[in-house]
Structure 1
Amino acid sequence: MTRRKKIYEGKAKTLYEGPEPGTIVQYFKDDATAFNAEKKDVIEGKGVLNNMLSEYFMTGLGAVGVPTHFIKRLNMREQLVRACEIVPLEVIVRNYAAGSISKRLGIEEGTAMPRPIVEYCYKDDALGDPLVTEEHIAAFGWASQQDMDDIVALALRVNDYLSGLMYGVGIRLVDFKIEIGRIYEGDFQRLVVADEISPDSCRLWDIETGQKLDKDVFRRDLGSLTDAYTEVAKRLGVMPKQANPVSKPTLIN
Structure 2
Amino acid sequence: MARRKKIYEGKAKILYEGPEPGTIVQYFKDDATAFNAAKKDVIDGKGVLNNRLSEFFMTGLNQIGVPTHFIRRLNMREQLVRSCEIIPLEIIVRNFAAGSLSKRLGIEEGTQLPRPIVEYCYKDDKLGDPLVTEEHIAAFGWASQQDMDDVLSLALRVNDFMSGLMLGVGIKLVDFKIEIGRVFEGDFQRLVIADEISPDSCRLWDIETGQKLDKDVFRRDLGSLTDAYSEVARRLGVLPQNATQMTKPKLIN
TM-score by length of 2: 0.98
Local SS of the residue matching 1:166: helix
- Measure the CA separation in 2 of the matches of 1:112 and 1:248: 35
- Measure the CA separation in 1 of the matches of 2:248 and 2:63: 32
Gaps of 5+ in 1: none
Aligned-partner residue type, residue 140 of structure 1: F
Q: What do the CA deviations read for 1:138-188 (whole angstroms, capped 9, x no partner)? A: 000000000000000000000000000000000000000000000000000
1:181 aligns with 2:206: no
Q: Which residue in 2 is equivalent to 1:39?
A: 39
Q: Which residue in 2 is equivalent to 1:168?
A: 168
- Measure the CA separation in 1 of the matches of 2:244 and 2:132: 41
1:91 aligns with 2:91: yes
TM-score by length of 1: 0.98
Give identity over the alignment, percent.
85
User: What pairs with 1:13-32 in structure 2 (closer than 5 Å)?
Assistant: 13-32=13-32
- Measure the CA separation in 1 of the matches of 2:226 and 2:205: 15
Local SS of the residue matching 1:121: strand
Cα deviation for residue 245 of structure 1 reads 3.7
Say if 2:90 and 2:177, in contact at 8 Å, map to a contact too: yes
- Measure the CA separation in 2 of the matches of 1:248 and 1:175: 27
User: What pairs with 1:65-214 in structure 2 (closer than 5 Å)?
Assistant: 65-214=65-214
- Measure the CA separation in 1 of the matches of 2:214 and 2:251: 25
- Measure the CA separation in 1 of the matches of 2:208 and 2:250: 35
Say if 1:177 and 1:201, in contact at 8 Å, map to a contact too: yes
Do the aligned partners of residues 89 and 251 (structure 1) sit closer, same or farther apart at CA in structure 2, a change above 3 Å counting?
closer
Q: Which residue in 2 is equivalent to 1:52?
A: 52
Do the aligned partners of residues 229 and 251 (structure 1) sit closer, same or farther apart at CA in structure 2, a change above 3 Å counting?
closer
Cα deviation for residue 134 of structure 1 reads 0.2
- Number of residue-to-residue matches in the alignment: 253
Aligned-partner residue type, residue 80 of structure 2: L
Q: What do the CA deviations read for 1:97-123 (whole angstroms, capped 9, x no partner)? A: 000000000000000010000000000
Q: Which residue in 2 is equivalent to 1:61?
A: 61
Do the aligned partners of residues 38 and 188 (structure 1) sit closer, same or farther apart at CA in structure 2, a change above 3 Å counting?
same
Do the aligned partners of residues 220 and 70 (structure 1) sit closer, same or farther apart at CA in structure 2, a change above 3 Å counting?
same
- Measure the CA separation in 2 of the matches of 1:45 and 1:132: 34
Local SS of the residue matching 2:175: strand
Local SS of the residue matching 2:138: helix
Say if 2:238 and 2:252, in contact at 8 Å, map to a contact too: no
Say if 1:71 and 1:79, in contact at 8 Å, map to a contact too: yes
Say if 1:46 and 1:246, in contact at 8 Å, map to a contact too: no
Say if 1:48 and 1:246, in contact at 8 Å, map to a contact too: no
- Measure the CA separation in 2 of the matches of 1:252 and 1:235: 13
Local SS of the residue matching 1:66: coil
- Measure the CA separation in 1 of the matches of 2:84 and 2:69: 8
- Measure the CA separation in 1 of the matches of 2:249 and 2:235: 20
Cα deviation for residue 249 of structure 1 reads 6.1
Q: What do the CA deviations read for 1:60-100 (whole angstroms, capped 9, x no partner)? A: 00011100000000000000000000000000000000000
